[in-house]
A and B are shown apart, each in its own frame.
Chain A
Amino acid sequence: MEHDSQIPEMGHVEATRRRFLKWLIAVLAAVNALIAGIPFLRSLLGPSVAAQKNEWSKVAAVDLLPQDSPVDMRFMAESGEAYLHNTVLRSVWVIKHSPEKISVFSPVCTHLGCYYQWNGQADRFECPCHASVFAPDGKVISGPAPRPLDTLESKIENGYLLVKWENFKAGVPTKIPVA
């Protein structure tokens, strides 16, 4: 636009003015789009407040658990997701090694999030989706699972097993909690 600063004809000034207006329109429209667009996109990228409230749930009476044999324990837990406050049925795999030592596995396969099963004859966990196989201690025996079964935090109180439910990211080699 430098050459416009010499004394121009009327037509020239008018042309410059229009070009300038077009630029201004574009810039203003872009700025407005960004001012709304960035927050709007931000809202879609996920509520970052911890929606999941992880509280201890009573899962079983320790005395009644069988020794060294995995059992699928079901329990009701309060679940908070976004604006829903529901009581949901959860399931965990529990193995009592001794009255003091109990393993609790999340029932979700670490590969892609299917619910796996216990094969009592072969003494191993098997996932029906992609045939991942896990040992009773959770280690991967075969199949596409990238990491061992996820353990859940647990404790024994007044003869009851208490478990803290958590979800973990599927398909990655490390155990990463997800909200």
Chain B
Amino acid sequence: MTSRPIEWINRWINERWPLSAVLRLAIDEEIPGGSRFVYTDGSAVFLLFTLQAITGILQVLFYVPTVDHAYDSLNYLRTEVPFGWLIHGMHFWGANLMIVVLALHMTRAFIWGAYKKPRELVWLAGVLLLLVTMGFSFTGSPLTWDQHGYWAGEVGTSIAGTIPVVGDMQKRLLRGGEGMGQLTLSRFFALHTMVLPLLLVSAFGLHIIAFKVRGTVGPWDALKRRLSGPFWPDQVYKDVLTGSAIFILLIFLSVFVPPVFWGPVDILDTNYVPKPDWNFLFLYQVLKYFQGPLEPVGTVGVPTVIVLLFVTLPFTDRNPEKNPFRRPLVMLCGFIFAVTITALTLLGYYSRGLAELPAGSPAVSSLLGPDDAGAAKTPSVSQPSDQSAPAQKTGGMPSATVETNSRTMPGEGAHVIGNAERGGAVFGNYCAGCHGAKGAGGMQNPGSDEGKVPQLNPVEREIYNKDPKAFAENLDRFIQHGLVPPGKKPLLSMPAFGDTHGLTQQQIANVEAYIMSLNGIDRGQIVNPGMEPRNFFILVASVYILMLFIQGGIRIKSGIP
């Protein structure tokens, strides 16, 4: 009885829009040789892209593409919005996994000969999808506008700038000017969230329609091809199983290997070694072999050759034979290509950066301003006498009625999630001299009531706070504004690193993250997880296991093969 209204709706729609025909194209397919798990790689890429779109839209509801708030807004999502950690984690890992699965998908198409006549368009649209995906990866990284993302963008656009003749124009197009800045971020954001998605959806339409018209290539063995199996529901079931596995993997990675907090962009921090994301490492490595006048060979030549190889493949290899064992030359070429890319990637990964400085480089100490150059030696503290120092954007209250002491307010650095590891390096250079290595023990400080420089590991109880934000603010007041310890004539005092610009706000944020980590507090701790990530994973895993048992039980009870 219930089917009648459905039939009526079905007829009503079909008279106006070819719903049945579209559905038939989507699911009516006889797969030569039957359904197989190997064929689920394409739908896995599709699932990953769908998840990227959903998590991407969710991120845009919190993230702002401005240089002063991109990093903060992302971290707000990650630490203070319920399940924000999951949204960003899945987007980050989804992006990485998408490239892996895409590579597998193309490898399979290559081995199965799925690019051959009459499936050339499927392959070509696929190559376009690969390029768009690489574009997503390239424009996505800088959006975090942290140390890692900023430099990935800087290096990437610089490479575009080395291309002969059009390079400079191309760089300016990408950056919105000579240097990296707000316009760069806006352009990357627009590319990543508007231009590339449109391109991808168009290329995907081309790819999937071409694919559905000709269907799966199936096994190369004629014997196996005799039998066939339906796409719906057999193959779809396997697709859903693979999809679920990917889904749980993404959640697992988001819970147990969350993306790193790289710390805010700090162009003065010369200790940072920029390296591109792993999927561009092969190009990065190639560039090292082509330097000087040969540079364009690496920057334009190699990528162009790779793209041309992909694009021309269906036309250069016109042999109709699909069995890989009977196409040894093509297989060998493919193998050499894969090994080369992998080897270059590994070389790039394990190599020292192009700009890597020897340890203990003087770059950092040269950043010391003249008024606290002696920070580590004899800090005759320079209390900031000039209030005009534009130390903070947020600190002061420029009101006539209220005289607020901006020296007691935390500065910008307190609100930013720093990177503890990088903070450790700064600490070693600036703070360890008085507070001891790892803040473990202070130097003697004659003339002060305490008699020694305070220990930071563990830190005084009044400064410690379980809430990472409050802890950072407590620390920040001292680092920004300094302190003359009580006592008759203390030999050492805490320099005002923020007010005197002895340290950048980014360095201060990193140092705070480091001192907090010494005290067992993670600066990037999730304040409002919605649900503890581990518990969430256990819950999800339990649901899947339960489902596995239930469906197994039904199968056995009803004798379903």
Q: Does A35 interact with chain B (Cβ within 8 Å)?
A: yes
Which residues on B sit within 8 Å (CB–CB) of A16? 558, 560
Q: Does B528 interact with chain A (Cβ within 8 Å)?
A: yes
Complex Cα gap A44–B75 (Å): 16
Q: Which of A32-62 contact B (CB under 8 A)?
A: 32, 35-36, 39-40, 42-45, 47-49, 57-61
Q: Does A130 interact with chain B (Cβ within 8 Å)?
A: no
Q: Which of B210-261 contact A (CB under 8 A)?
A: 230, 233-234, 236-237, 240-241, 243-244, 247, 251
Complex Cα gap A83–B230 (Å): 52
Which residues on B sit within 8 Å (CB–CB) of A1? 558
Which residues on A sit within 8 Å (CB–CB) of B530? 39, 42-43
Partner of A75 from B51, B401, B409 at Cβ < 8 Å = B401
Interface residue tally for chain B (C-beta within 8 Å): 57
Which residues on A sit within 8 Å (CB–CB) of B58? 40, 43-44
- Count how many pairs of residues, one from A and one from B, have CB atoms less than 8 Å apart in the complex: 126
CB atoms of B543 and A31 under 8 A apart: yes
> Given known contacts A44-B58, A48-B528, A83-B76, is B240 in contact with A25 (CB within 8 Å)?
yes
Complex Cα gap A78–B173 (Å): 39
Which residues on B sit within 8 Å (CB–CB) of A4? 558-559
CB atoms of B527 and A49 under 8 A apart: yes
Q: Does B73 interact with chain A (Cβ within 8 Å)?
A: yes
Which residues on A sit within 8 Å (CB–CB) of B396? 87
Most chain B beta-carbon neighbours within 10 Å: one of A17, A36, A57, A60:
A36
Q: Does A176 interact with chain B (Cβ within 8 Å)?
A: no
CB atoms of B86 and A39 under 8 A apart: yes
- Binary B-proximity of A157-172 (CB < 8 A = 1, otherwise 0): 0000000000000000
Partner of B536 from A39, A58, A61 at Cβ < 8 Å = A39
Q: Which of B321-351 contact A (CB under 8 A)?
A: none
Q: Does B84 interact with chain A (Cβ within 8 Å)?
A: yes
Q: Does A22 interact with chain B (Cβ within 8 Å)?
A: yes
Which residues on B sit within 8 Å (CB–CB) of A101? none
CB atoms of A28 and B244 under 8 A apart: yes
Q: Does B551 interact with chain A (Cβ within 8 Å)?
A: yes
Q: Does B165 interact with chain A (Cβ within 8 Å)?
A: no
Most chain B beta-carbon neighbours within 10 Å: one of A4, A39, A77:
A39
Partner of A39 from B83, B243, B402, B561 at Cβ < 8 Å = B83
Complex Cα gap A32–B90 (Å): 14
CB atoms of A76 and B399 under 8 A apart: yes
> Given known contacts A24-B237, A40-B83, A58-B402, is B528 in contact with A5 (CB within 8 Å)?
no
CB atoms of A25 and B236 under 8 A apart: yes
CB atoms of B394 and A76 under 8 A apart: no
Which residues on B sit within 8 Å (CB–CB) of A31? 543-544, 547
> Given known contacts A43-B87, A47-B80, A83-B69, is B401 in contact with A21 (CB within 8 Å)?
no
Q: Does B518 interact with chain A (Cβ within 8 Å)?
A: no
Q: Does B72 interact with chain A (Cβ within 8 Å)?
A: yes
Q: Does A97 interact with chain B (Cβ within 8 Å)?
A: no
CB atoms of B402 and A87 under 8 A apart: no
Q: A104: shortest Cβ distance to chain B, in Å?
A: 14
> Given known contacts A21-B234, A47-B528, is B243 in contact with A32 (CB within 8 Å)?
yes
CB atoms of B83 and A85 under 8 A apart: no
Q: Which of A58-102 contact B (CB under 8 A)?
A: 58-61, 73-78, 82-87
Q: Does A13 interact with chain B (Cβ within 8 Å)?
A: yes
Which residues on B sit within 8 Å (CB–CB) of A39? 82-83, 86-87, 530-531, 536
CB atoms of A48 and B82 under 8 A apart: yes
Q: Does B108 interact with chain A (Cβ within 8 Å)?
A: no
Q: Does B81 interact with chain A (Cβ within 8 Å)?
A: yes
Q: A80: shortest Cβ distance to chain B, in Å?
A: 9
Q: Which of A112-161 contact B (CB under 8 A)?
A: none
Which residues on A sit within 8 Å (CB–CB) of B251? 35
Partner of A47 from B51, B82, B247 at Cβ < 8 Å = B82
Most chain A beta-carbon neighbours within 10 Å: one of B87, B230, B559:
B559
Complex Cα gap A166–B268 (Å): 40
Q: Does B5 interact with chain A (Cβ within 8 Å)?
A: no
Complex Cα gap A83–B90 (Å): 22
Taking CB as reference atom, which chain A residue is nearest B69? Answer: A83
Which residues on A sit within 8 Å (CB–CB) of B560? 13, 16-17, 20
Which residues on B sit within 8 Å (CB–CB) of A21? 233-234, 236-237
> Given known contacts A36-B54, A86-B394, is B83 in contact with A24 (CB within 8 Å)?
no
- Binary A-proximity of B388-425 (CB < 8 A = 1, otherwise 0): 00000010111101111000010000010000000000
Which residues on A sit within 8 Å (CB–CB) of B21? none
Partner of A22 from B76, B87, B233, B403 at Cβ < 8 Å = B233
- Binary A-proximity of B498-526 (CB < 8 A = 1, otherwise 0): 00000000000000000000000000000
9 closest A-B pairs by beta carbon, nearest first, are A39-B83, A83-B76, A76-B399, A83-B72, A21-B233, A76-B397, A58-B402, A85-B394, A83-B73
Q: Given A49-B80, A75-B401, output 5 extra A-B contacts at Cβ < 8 Å.
A: A18-B230, A39-B82, A39-B531, A43-B86, A83-B76
A to B CB contacts below 8 Å, 13 in the list = A22-B233, A25-B236, A36-B247, A39-B536, A43-B82, A47-B82, A47-B528, A49-B528, A61-B401, A73-B401, A75-B401, A75-B402, A77-B397
- Give me the interface of B with A, judged by CB distance under 8 Å: 51, 54-55, 58, 61-62, 69, 72-73, 75-76, 80-84, 86-87, 90, 230, 233-234, 236-237, 240-241, 243-244, 247, 251, 394, 396-399, 401-404, 409, 415, 527-528, 530-531, 536, 540, 543-544, 547, 551, 554-555, 558-561
- Give me the interface of A with B, judged by CB distance under 8 Å: 1, 4-5, 13, 16-18, 20-22, 24-25, 27-29, 31-32, 35-36, 39-40, 42-45, 47-49, 57-61, 73-78, 82-87
